[in-house]
A and B are shown apart, each in its own frame.
Chain A
Amino acid sequence: MTSFLQEQKRPTAQRSFHWQRGVERTLIYVGLAIGAVLVGAPFVYMFTGSFKLNADIFSYPLTFIPRHPTLDNYVRLFNGSEIPYLRQFANSLFVAISQTLLTLFVASTVGWGFAKYEFAGKRVLFLILLATLTFPFQLVLVPLFLMMVSIRWLDTYWAIIIPGAISAFGCFFMRQSMLAAPDDLVDAARIDGASDWGIFWRIGLPLARGALSVLAVLVFLGSWNDYLWPLVVLRTAEMFTYPVGLATLVGLYKVEYGMILAGAFLATLPILVIFIAGRNMLLDNLTIGAIKG
């Protein structure tokens, strides 16, 4: 269609058209390359900085390549000379994995209930679920903290995992995808004598595998990167998740920047793995909210 139109144009116009296109293409690639360098440089600087002596991070001229490459930052991070980093890293892993599994369980049962059953009050209850999506977490920050104090969950992982598993977004997300499960299949299973739980477990869940893995990635990333709530409820260095631990290192030892960068880089590795393994699924699904909105 376009090529046909171009053929209709006079040769001179076509030539200048091509020339213009060429310049434009070049500009686009140059722009993208500059953008990529600006986005990538801070990451690279973090990575190479983790192999620098502190004195080299804060000296002229700045270099991306370490002048005196050293593993000292990592060694001292691992033997816990300033913060119990390995423990904090493991805490983050435990909290994020538990929260992900529990969220998947809650979201898929609730999603199935809303997608495949008719019951009194369904509309109202679903609207309540949707309305919850619009409330900012800060609204409940103080009262939720006071609750954690009174049920003695302060400085425990429960304080993060359990409230974190109640995800209105997750329930909504699973409901949307479980709507697609064919009713014929559900009815057939019911006639064959399958229980409601059996139908959910053997038909609903397997059919929603794709949505479950997307939700798992989103919840894991959110939990792994979270700072505010863990900062509020965790009190001792042994219980900290890594963002809280690194933040204490920033606050106390500005000079220990090599170590801070090493910790920051290691904490980014799991994200990198997930990102590369699940890139297509991630990119296709992150915009779900926007399209629905």
Chain B
Amino acid sequence: MAKWRRRITPYLFISPFFIGYTIFFLYPVLRAIYLSLFQQVGIGSEPKFVGLNNYFNLLTDSTFLKALLNTTYYAAGSIFLIAPLALVLALVLTTRNLYGREFFRLFFFSPNITAGVVVGIIFTLVFSAEYGLLNNYILKPFGLPAIRWLQDPAWVMPAIIILGIWRFTGINALYFMSGLQNIPAEIREAASIDGANRWQVFRFVTLPLLRPITVFVLTFAIIGSYNLFAEPSILVGVQGGPNNAGLFMTMYLYLNGFRFMKFSYAATIGVALAVIVLLLTLIQLRLLGVFRED
């Protein structure tokens, strides 16, 4: 009896997760895949088996492709603007004897823990064409014409990327800073003693050593763009604004599932999104050398 109890104890400890996991994760995942092979509109309607038809429909659905394109557009903005800016900020914040380092670190990070809905509310006023902060306080003093950020399809995505810069540069700078702190100062000093100038030290010593963090930041930036929902749906509406210019993948999933009640189609979008995110994660792990045997 005592021995049996001894053997069952560890399983009792880990059971809360695995019970919850089976009910609220494993079963829904299987149900999502199952749903994606059927056609069901509305609760209680009879599902009809359609094979991979939902997936084929996805590939020819111009709105879905638009959402995919927008998501990619934003991801590119993250890679080429947010990540480099975060790296610069991290380098600046790790300069020696910087006065107010802690304050700046905290302050630049604060947009990240603000609720997405609140950020969307604030930035509606930042981007307002007539009464917006951006047009009146930044563009106007430079003599630039007002931009209809949220009404002009061409400017919706740049606006959301600007929001992304405001919201995510700080946290990514923190990631880079933790990476920079792990590089021993001696390595950089040794390189500069050997005659490397500061750009060369950065380019040939710091940057290669930051590779794991860079890979992490970039993959998370891309995955993050697939998760974007609250901010764009407050800014331009969950339908995605003019010409669906601000429609992201998760918004399209929400629309199909909870506005049009196309459960099976929404589940298909969820599966597609999960496949994309999983592929990105695998690429990340590969780049980090997790699969290397040694």
Q: Is the CB of A171 within 8 A of B24?
A: no
Q: A129 to B249, alpha carbons, bound, how many Å?
A: 26
A67-103 Cβ-contact flags toward B at 8 Å (1 or 0): 0000000000000000000000000000000000000
Q: Is the CB of B114 within 8 A of A268?
A: yes
- One of B68-76, B151-159, B201-209, B251-259 at the interface: B251-259
Q: Is the CB of B229 within 8 A of A228?
A: yes
A162 at the interface (CB under 8 A from B): yes
Q: Is the CB of A45 within 8 A of B122?
A: yes
A281 at the interface (CB under 8 A from B): no
Interface residues of A, CB < 8 Å — how many?
A: 90
Which residues on B sit within 8 Å (CB–CB) of A110?
13-14, 16-17
The smallest C-beta distance from B79 to any residue of chain A, in angstroms, reads 17
A132 at the interface (CB under 8 A from B): yes
Q: A166 to B73, alpha carbons, bound, how many Å?
A: 33
Residue of A nearest to B8 (CB): A119
Take A138-B274, A227-B116, A286-B171 as given contacts and tell me if A275 and B257 are in contact as well, using a CB distance cutoff of 8 Å.
no
Partner of B174, one of A29, A39, A283: A283
Q: Is the CB of A247 within 8 A of B178?
A: no
Which A residues fall within an 8 A CB radius of B? 1-2, 5, 28-29, 31-32, 35-36, 38-43, 45-46, 49, 57-62, 105-106, 109-110, 112-114, 117-119, 122, 125, 128-129, 132, 134-147, 149, 162-163, 165-166, 168, 171, 196, 200, 221, 224-225, 227-228, 231-232, 243, 246-247, 250-251, 257, 260-261, 264, 267-268, 271, 275, 279, 283, 286-287, 289-291, 293
- A166-B21, A268-B114 are known; give 16 further A-B pairs, CB within 8 A: A45-B125, A113-B11, A119-B10, A140-B24, A142-B267, A143-B29, A146-B263, A168-B17, A225-B114, A243-B230, A257-B125, A264-B121, A264-B122, A267-B115, A290-B213, A291-B182
Q: Which 3 A-B pairs have the closest CB atoms?
A: A113-B13, A166-B20, A117-B10
Which residues on A sit within 8 Å (CB–CB) of B149?
none
Which residues on A sit within 8 Å (CB–CB) of B266?
141-142
Q: Is the CB of A132 within 8 A of B267?
A: no
Take A39-B108, A110-B17 as given contacts and tell me if A134 and B267 are in contact as well, using a CB distance cutoff of 8 Å.
no
Q: A39 to B266, alpha carbons, bound, how many Å?
A: 36
Take A106-B17, A138-B253 as given contacts and tell me if A250 and B234 are in contact as well, using a CB distance cutoff of 8 Å.
yes
Interface of A is mostly: helix
Q: Is the CB of A261 within 8 A of B257?
A: no
Q: A261 to B126, alpha carbons, bound, how many Å?
A: 13
Residue of B nearest to A150 (CB): B43
B58 at the interface (CB under 8 A from A): no
Which residues on A sit within 8 Å (CB–CB) of B109?
283, 286
Q: Is the CB of B126 within 8 A of A42?
A: yes
Which residues on A sit within 8 Å (CB–CB) of B247?
none
Partner of B104, one of A36, A45, A250: A36
Partner of B278, one of A41, A105, A134, A200: A134
Mark out the residues of chain B between 78 and 106 whose CB falls within 8 Å of any chain A CB in the assembled complex: 89, 92, 95, 98-100, 104-106
Q: Is the CB of A143 within 8 A of B115?
A: no
B273 at the interface (CB under 8 A from A): yes
Q: Is the CB of A135 within 8 A of B29?
A: yes
Residue of A nearest to B268 (CB): A142
Sample (25) of A-B pairs whose CB atoms are under 8 Å apart: A28-B95, A38-B166, A39-B111, A42-B126, A62-B131, A106-B20, A113-B11, A113-B12, A125-B14, A129-B21, A134-B277, A135-B25, A135-B274, A136-B227, A138-B249, A138-B273, A142-B257, A143-B35, A147-B31, A168-B17, A225-B114, A247-B117, A264-B117, A286-B174, A287-B178
Q: Is the CB of B277 within 8 A of A246?
A: no
Q: Is the CB of B89 within 8 A of A35?
A: yes
Partner of A57, one of B104, B113, B125, B179: B125
Q: Is the CB of B10 within 8 A of A138?
A: no
The smallest C-beta distance from A269 to any residue of chain B, in angstroms, reads 11
Which residues on A sit within 8 Å (CB–CB) of B233?
247
Q: Is the CB of A293 within 8 A of B216?
A: yes
Take A35-B89, A45-B122, A119-B7 as given contacts and tell me if A62 and B270 are in contact as well, using a CB distance cutoff of 8 Å.
no
Residue of A nearest to B101 (CB): A32
Q: Is the CB of A143 within 8 A of B32?
A: yes
Take A138-B270, A166-B21, A228-B230 as given contacts and tell me if A28 and B35 are in contact as well, using a CB distance cutoff of 8 Å.
no
The smallest C-beta distance from B267 to any residue of chain A, in angstroms, reads 5
Q: Is the CB of A142 within 8 A of B277?
A: no
The smallest C-beta distance from A140 to any residue of chain B, in angstroms, reads 4
Which residues on A sit within 8 Å (CB–CB) of B28?
139-140, 143-144, 147
Q: Is the CB of B92 within 8 A of A45?
A: no
Which residues on B sit within 8 Å (CB–CB) of A247?
117, 233-234
B212 at the interface (CB under 8 A from A): yes
